[in-house]
Amino acid sequence: MRVLVTGITGFAGPFVAAALRARGDDVHGLVRGGPARVAEAGAGLLGIGVHDGDLEDAAGFARLVADLAPDAIVHLAGFSFVPDGERDPHAAYRVNLGGTLAVLAAVRTHAPRARLVVASSSSVYGAGGTRSLALDEEAPLRPLTVYGASKAAADVAADQWARAYDLDVVRARPFNHTGPGQAPTFVASALARQIAVVEAGKAAVVRIGNMDPVRDFSDVRDVAAGYVALLERGRAGEAYNLCSGEGASVADVLAILRTHARVPVRVHVDPALRRDKDLERLVGSHARVTRDTGWRPRIPLTETLGALLDYWRARV
CATH of residue 190: 3.90.25.10
Task: Note whether 98 and 135 are same-domain residues.
Answer: yes
Task: Note whether 65 and 147 are same-domain residues.
Answer: yes
SS3 272: helix
- Whole-angstrom distance, CA of residue 68 vs CA of residue 114: 12
Q: Is 90 left (phi over 0), alpha (psi -120 to 50) or beta?
A: alpha
- Whole-angstrom distance, CA of residue 279 vs CA of residue 275: 10
H-assigned helices in the chain: 13-22, 35-44, 58-68, 82-87, 89-93, 99-110, 146-165, 187-199, 220-233, 250-260, 287-293, 301-315
Task: Note whether 185 and 117 are same-domain residues.
Answer: no
The answer to whether residue 289 is domain-embedded is no
- Whole-angstrom distance, CA of residue 227 vs CA of residue 171: 10
Task: Note whether 169 and 184 are same-domain residues.
Answer: no
Task: Note whether 148 and 77 are same-domain residues.
Answer: yes
pLDDT of residue 131: 59
Task: Note whether 18 and 152 are same-domain residues.
Answer: yes
Handedness of CA 250, 255, 256, 261 (dihedral sign): positive
CB atoms closer than 10 angstroms to residue 10? 18
Task: Note whether 126 and 73 are same-domain residues.
Answer: yes
Number of structural domains (the chain) is 2
CB atoms closer than 10 angstroms to residue 246? 15
Q: Exposed, middle or buried by CB within 10 Å (0-12, 13-18, 19+), for 267?
A: middle
Q: Which helix (H) or strand (E) holds 238?
A: none
- Whole-angstrom distance, CA of residue 74 vs CA of residue 5: 5
Task: Note whether 134 and 183 are same-domain residues.
Answer: no
Task: Note whether 62 and 98 are same-domain residues.
Answer: yes
pLDDT of residue 130: 60
SS3 57: coil
- pLDDT per position in the chain (316 positions), as tens? 999 999 999 999 999 999 999 999 999 999 988 787 888 887 788 889 999 999 999 999 999 999 999 999 999 999 887 788 788 999 999 999 999 999 999 999 999 999 999 999 999 999 766 656 799 999 999 999 999 999 999 999 999 999 999 999 999 999 999 999 999 999 999 999 999 999 999 999 999 988 999 999 999 999 999 999 999 999 999 999 999 999 999 999 999 999 999 999 999 998 877 776 678 899 999 999 999 999 999 999 999 999 999 999 999 9
> Cβ neighbours of residue 206 under 8 Å, at least 6 residues apart?
191, 194, 195, 198, 254, 265, 266, 267, 268
The answer to whether residue 291 is domain-embedded is no
Task: Note whether 112 and 224 are same-domain residues.
Answer: yes
pTM of structure: 0.95
| Domain range enclosing 259 | 179-215+247-283+299-315
- Whole-angstrom distance, CA of residue 159 vs CA of residue 286: 20
pLDDT of residue 111: 98
Task: Note whether 157 and 172 are same-domain residues.
Answer: yes
SS3 95: helix
SS3 27: strand
